[in-house]
Structure 1
Amino acid sequence: MNLKKRSTEKWLPNKWPKSSNLVKKWSIDQQAEFFALLANLLTIGFSLTAALDFIVQTNKRMRPQVNLIVTRLKSGNGFSESVRSLINIGAYHQLLISEKHGRLKDVLKELAKFDRLKIKQIKKIKSMMVYPLFLCLILFVLMIMIRLFVFPQIQELMPNIHQSTSLTRNFRLIKYFLIGIVLLTGISFVYWFTQSPIRKVQLLIKLPLIGKLFQNYVAYYLASNLATLLKSGLSVREISITLAEFDKGSLIYSLGAKLDAALTNGQSLTDVVDETQFVPDEIIKFLNSGDPITEMANAMTAYSSLMFEEMMLTTNKIIGFIQPSMFIVIGITIVGTYFQLLTPIYNGVKGMY
């Protein structure tokens, strides 16, 4: 209990800092630029305050946010607490751990690398989606034109074609389908926000196509944070107490609380893995290996790098799957449109004989 209190008092903020209404949160590319620039300045010998002052003087785009960080630092807040409202929660947790244990520069480099690769993958997806989405737009316009102009002309030439058939029926089915999608999406959102962080991850890793990607990301995220804690010399028990003191809505807090409860009740780490379903067995093997903490930290660092590479490979596979899937959907839609157009003509011609 004393260890838990001492650990909390040393480095965890008492509350979230309030963000100024005039200062916007960084986008992912701005966040990556800030992390990379700050890491470079720290590497060449700048102190943290000197590096931030240098950014204020030389980077107009970041000046409002960095001025806010400097103001919070002067008020006695730590760096991670000062930057918390400007970055995503995952990056904040990694900065919080690294700031406490003296690896801020290394973690900043890792975060910048991760964000830049994420931006690169997003741009690649967007570039691959432009052509298929343009075709979809043309196809949608074509279907509307057929509905508004072609079918009325066909009905004038062939009065025995019933308007309620074919395209009208299909448009009605499309309308019901879209209503169903909207209702299902609403129910899914309500269900999602009532689940715990651990349950959310359990659901995400079961999704087709992106489930494997998210599982790799969780493995990378956990391994990199544990590596930082192990390099500082913390034992497994101390790590569980540390993790259990994070923001209550975060995954890392939920895992820390579960790990702390398991160790308190005499359960093994394997039991925690079985309950969560997404913590990799390799992480537990490293923690249960009995090796010196330094060797465990090195193994965890190597494993986090491996999971990062796996995450990039999985992302590339998903990107390669997107465009062919879009073309298949477009092809099916084109064939369906032709059937909608030709079926009533065929029925009308057949009715003449």
Structure 2
Amino acid sequence: MSLVQGQWFQLLYELLTVGFSLKQAVRFSAILLPKMQPFVKQIDQRLANGLSFAQAMKPLVKIDTFYSLLLAEQHGALLNTLKSISDFRSLYQRQKQKMHGLMEYPLILLAMLLMIAAAMKGWLIPEMQSLQSTWTLPYWPILKQCLGGLLGVSLLLLMYRLDRFYHQSRIGQVEYLCRLPIIGRGFCDYYAYYLCSNLALLVQQGISEQKMVAYVKEFQTNALLHQLAIVYEQHDYDFNLMVKKYRCLPAELSLLVKCGLTNDDLAKRLQVLSQMKFKHLIRLTEHWLTMITPVMLGLIALIVLGLYLSILLPIYHSMQGVIQ
């Protein structure tokens, strides 16, 4: 559904660009994308009942996407936001498909090696042990206990982390994701892109900080923008302190605020910063994808080494016995 939804947002953007009204574009999209007919029917029914486009989309998208659409619709930037949503979903699906393609060959090799390992454990190793039943690896029982203990501790730690993550506030979850090793940089770029694009819409209206905060505080309590507005108010509107404390806010924001720009100029620069973060996210995911194949092949190499050792060590020990 995510892939088709991305195509639908892109189609809706294109139809609105060529002059369709919103209701016409929604209805016509059901003809061009038959898979989306149940989805589009719900939206069309809500629009017919007098709801705005964002309100019609609310049950069908994530809360952050809903508020992006709401802000865009209320401030006359729906086209740009539809384009941004479709671009991000297209990027997600494109990188996902590329990742599947890169992992396909290593996973086939890995499956074959695991089958060979299972066959060795079920047939070859018992045969070799029957030839010399007195020999076993002296460190094998200890190694098995260590590996089992390590696996158990890792599972418990993972369950604890997941439980702690899901019981945090939305802003706490975002900060946790942004602080993860390696992939945390990608989350920082995504949330910087999301926040800058929405902040640009608010700044463009020329309202004061207090009014912006009051407006965003009316959002649902589990929305990221709502929770950031609450924290911003608690910090006495100190933007520099906010940027230092939260990684989801890019450091460039504090520099833009200090420049003393007009609202229009600040909104334009926020949009540029948002696009820069999006492009950096693309480059970052491309870099991660290039690392998948070497990591998988390294894992396969370790498995092959383990298989060789499981065969050669008993043979080596048998030869030592013969020589002695």
Give your verdict on TM over 0.5: yes
One-letter identity of the residue aligned with 2:86: A
Select which of 116, 132, 139 maps to 1:142: 116
Cα 1:146–1:57, aligned 2, differ >3 Å: closer, same or farther? closer
Alignment of 1:1-353 (within 5 A): 27-162=1-136, 174-263=147-236, 267-352=237-322, 353=324
2:8–2:33 CA contact under 8 A, matched in 1: no
Which is worse superposed, 179-188 or 27-36? 179-188
CA distance in 1, matches of 2:311, 2:139: 8
CA distance in 2, matches of 1:284, 1:236: 14
CA distance in 2, matches of 1:147, 1:335: 15
CA distance in 2, matches of 1:169, 1:157: 24
CA distance in 1, matches of 2:109, 2:138: 27
CA distance in 2, matches of 1:159, 1:106: 73
Count of aligned pairs: 323
| 1:168 CA drift (Å) | 6.8
Q: Report sequence identity in percent.
A: 28
CA distance in 2, matches of 1:76, 1:260: 34
Q: Deviations over 1:4-30 (max 9, x none)?
A: xxxxxxxxxxxxxxxxxxxxxxx2211
| 1:176 CA drift (Å) | 4.2
Specify the alignment match of 1:22 in structure 2.
Answer: none
Q: Secondary structure of 2:34's partner?
A: coil
CA distance in 2, matches of 1:237, 1:325: 50
| 1:215 CA drift (Å) | 0.9
1:224–1:301 CA contact under 8 A, matched in 2: yes
2:232–2:238 CA contact under 8 A, matched in 1: no
One-letter identity of the residue aligned with 2:295: S
> TM-score, normalized by length of structure 2?
0.92
The RMSD of aligned alpha carbons is: 2.1
Q: Secondary structure of 1:182's partner?
A: helix
- 5+ unaligned residues in a row in structure 2: which ranges? none
Q: Deviations over 1:133-182 (max 9, x none)?
A: 111111111111111111111022223224x7576765665544443333
- 5+ unaligned residues in a row in structure 1: which ranges? 1-26
